[in-house]
Structure 1
């Protein structure tokens, strides 16, 4: 009898134990319905008018039915003067009755004033809060971030989504860096390298040679140039040319449109497309003098030849394409030199030269790392640029060929 009673008690204890385990298992206790959320697409960070406050702009997207299965995005953008990001999300919830969902965030826009003052306190929230992803893009606004996120675009896109699309397609032209939050934080944690962030600005019709009409109301935004940071403080801007040089030196040119119109040494100029580019570097020791050489190789297809006054024979055309190789190499060389010169002027290593020295000559790096900012201005750097022309665009019946075989079938 005692054996039967013991078995019953064991079974009851086992059942109670299983029930207790089920109660302790994590489940959907803290779930939030989609209808209760407002997807956050972009955050803008500016300085507030009151000391110690920020003007935080939250751009929320709310899908709305338009009939059938199609949906449109309802833009709900709020700007709030607060002391923290959490306070801003609380205030938005009070207004919109929807909880901003941070996991959908695509872009963080840093306003010029906040960038100059330092914004690490705000970025700290982005890396601590579990819903945020380090893959979101980081851009620097010319002016206020609020103005960028509130601009009415002619194509009807949300500004945050427009910037995100720009960044995702950045490798199509390779003229500005693509910076994600994770990359920025990694560079910020390095001892020598200065962070760099692309610049976004509003472009009005009639400025910088750009005109647009099309019968649509609204404006356009563009990403051009970059900002160089000392820690989390904006130090200076890179021009378009300096930024292009940075892209070459960082081996970030996948595709690129390029022309030689600034080459004053020739009456004939070329336009083309970079098909392939590779940048390597070597740290050398020349009789005790440590320096670095960049080696850039680019393959380019010629799309345009401008300024030709006569037809060329095949031999002359080959010679002309050799001139094109030299002209394109000069353009790349000048862009890189402008970026190197900017680094020397700022004494901020946004090119990551110190990082390269540490990788290739760690013993030497240990002797100079504490004085690196002072050495940037005169550290020996040289360039070796090689361009090869592929696809000159010339066919057997080209008007630019004065060939004896012309006209034969």
Structure 2
């Protein structure tokens, strides 16, 4: 036997030995044995030191047809002292093992948010099955109530929230916060976390009406909560939240409405592109921060025109639109800055910007930063350009004085 054949046999034997010691799926769990966890809710329990934990489980897909998240009465709430205890209790009730790796949304109820929830959410960053990509949301009522809500479209509440979050950039009116981002913000110390708010809405509220004869309700994501550490301090209004989005450079699309200086012509537009930068300013030795917002907008709707405009008049009207859009953005940002000063909490991350631009100066401020926020100089420079104003300089509402005159 030559050396080549000996080497080949030796390699073959070694491969077989390696295969014996390779880990296999000895600890596998069949999907039929699992209950995919979609939503998790935290409320304070009635007993001291306990939480009311709500688990929303999805029905596994049967036979490969339909959605894997079919509606089924598989939402459980248990009052326990730890998340692990809740998992055990739900396992006993559902006869399936809750699979944490499928979790999409954590809903934090108002009571848990005000008391602090880091202890209970600690399980989410330690247990290996959890992913830090899950979304965090607040609700002004109970998380249990929100997750048990029956929606008109038949979707699980947790899945509906997840879908809203994934499409959030289409409107850019609320922040999308994942567990990993929340934990990162906590680590900065100077920046206050901010989490979007989800509520149920009845027909007729906030100018929204729907056919409530159909069984079920609707969800609304609007506004946000500001926290000191893990404790809710206050809520932001819709406009204050929109201002936060501008200053955070988190506006990809946005519908913006305004009117001309006389209040007779209204403009409806959509943000095509927006960019927010910031720089440090020095006014006679006083350090401040200036935001520079550059936005391009498409004017999709003009209402209130009473006559045909000349080309020069149309250009002037669009210049007015640019100025008025800039004022809308300025107002929303001012409201967010005013709220930051009022709360003394840096949810805008101004301290973080100072540290990035001038670390030595930041060291002189960081220990008294909450006291300094109220008077820290902040300025805005908003520039808006209309890059598309439709295909006509007239309007269907214009009454022509002569038939056929254009």
Please give the TM-score of this superposition, normalised by the length of structure 2. 0.91
Name the counterpart of 2:245: 247
Residue number among 272, 279, 282 corresponding to 1:282 in the alignment: 279
The yes-or-no answer on 1:369 pairing with 2:366 is yes
Rounded Cα–Cα distance in structure 2 between residues aligned with 1:365 and 1:68 = 57
The yes-or-no answer on 1:81 pairing with 2:79 is yes
Determine if contact 2:314/2:393 at 8 Å carries over to the other structure: no
Q: Give the 3-state SS of the residue equivalent to 1:156 in structure 2.
A: coil
Name the counterpart of 2:27: 30
Residue number among 106, 121, 124 corresponding to 1:123 in the alignment: 121
Distance 1:265 1:50, change over 3 A: farther
Tell me whether 53-62 or 208-217 shows the greater mean CA deviation. 208-217
Alpha-carbon distance, 1:96 to partner: 1.1
Q: Give the 3-state SS of the residue equivalent to 1:260 in structure 2.
A: strand
Tell me whether 386-395 or 126-135 shows the greater mean CA deviation. 386-395
Determine if contact 1:245/1:332 at 8 Å carries over to the other structure: yes
Name the counterpart of 1:384: 381
5+ residue gaps, structure 2: 1-12
Name the counterpart of 2:209: 211
Rounded Cα–Cα distance in structure 1 between residues aligned with 2:269 and 2:64 = 46
Distance 1:71 1:200, change over 3 A: closer
Residue number among 327, 335, 338 corresponding to 1:330 in the alignment: 327
Which whole-Å deviations, capped at 9, do the CAs of 1:354-382 have from their partners, x for residues lacking one? 00000001111011111111000010000
Determine if contact 1:270/1:305 at 8 Å carries over to the other structure: yes
Determine if contact 1:317/1:401 at 8 Å carries over to the other structure: no
Residue number among 152, 155, 161 corresponding to 1:154 in the alignment: 152
Alpha-carbon distance, 1:305 to partner: 1.7
Determine if contact 1:313/1:401 at 8 Å carries over to the other structure: no
Figure out how many residues of one structure are paired with residues of the other and give that number.
392
Name the counterpart of 2:166: 168
Determine if contact 2:32/2:60 at 8 Å carries over to the other structure: no
Name the counterpart of 2:109: 111
Residue number among 180, 183, 192 corresponding to 2:181 in the alignment: 183
Alpha-carbon distance, 1:300 to partner: 0.6
Q: Map 1:31-50; keep pairs closer than 5 Å.
A: 31-50=28-47
Rounded Cα–Cα distance in structure 1 between residues aligned with 2:64 and 2:355 = 60
Determine if contact 2:110/2:140 at 8 Å carries over to the other structure: yes
Q: Give the 3-state SS of the residue equivalent to 1:390 in structure 2.
A: strand
Name the counterpart of 2:337: 340
Residue number among 56, 59, 71 corresponding to 1:62 in the alignment: 59
Rounded Cα–Cα distance in structure 2 between residues aligned with 1:204 and 1:398 = 36
5+ residue gaps, structure 1: 1-14
Q: Give the 3-state SS of the residue equivalent to 2:239 in structure 1.
A: helix
Determine if contact 1:314/1:401 at 8 Å carries over to the other structure: no
The yes-or-no answer on 1:145 pairing with 2:124 is no
Rounded Cα–Cα distance in structure 2 between residues aligned with 1:335 and 1:384 = 13
Determine if contact 1:397/1:407 at 8 Å carries over to the other structure: no
Which whole-Å deviations, capped at 9, do the CAs of 1:364-405 have from their partners, x for residues lacking one? 101111111100001000000000012111427755699xxx
Determine if contact 1:110/1:138 at 8 Å carries over to the other structure: yes
Rounded Cα–Cα distance in structure 1 between residues aligned with 2:179 and 2:345 = 20
Name the counterpart of 2:88: 90
Please give the TM-score of this superposition, normalised by the length of structure 1. 0.90
Give the superposed CA RMSD.
2.5
Determine if contact 1:312/1:401 at 8 Å carries over to the other structure: no
Name the counterpart of 1:5: none
The yes-or-no answer on 1:309 pairing with 2:306 is yes
Name the counterpart of 1:238: 236
Structure 1 segments (4+ residues) deviating >6 Å: none
Which whole-Å deviations, capped at 9, do the CAs of 1:239-273 have from their partners, x for residues lacking one? 00000000000000000001015x77532221110
Q: Give the 3-state SS of the residue equivalent to 2:120 in structure 1.
A: helix
Which whole-Å deviations, capped at 9, do the CAs of 1:146-195 have from their partners, x for residues lacking one? 11101100001000000000000000000000100000000011120000
Alpha-carbon distance, 1:64 to partner: 4.9
Determine if contact 1:64/1:74 at 8 Å carries over to the other structure: no
Distance 1:209 1:396, change over 3 A: closer
Tell me whether 305-314 or 379-388 shows the greater mean CA deviation. 305-314
Distance 1:265 1:125, change over 3 A: farther
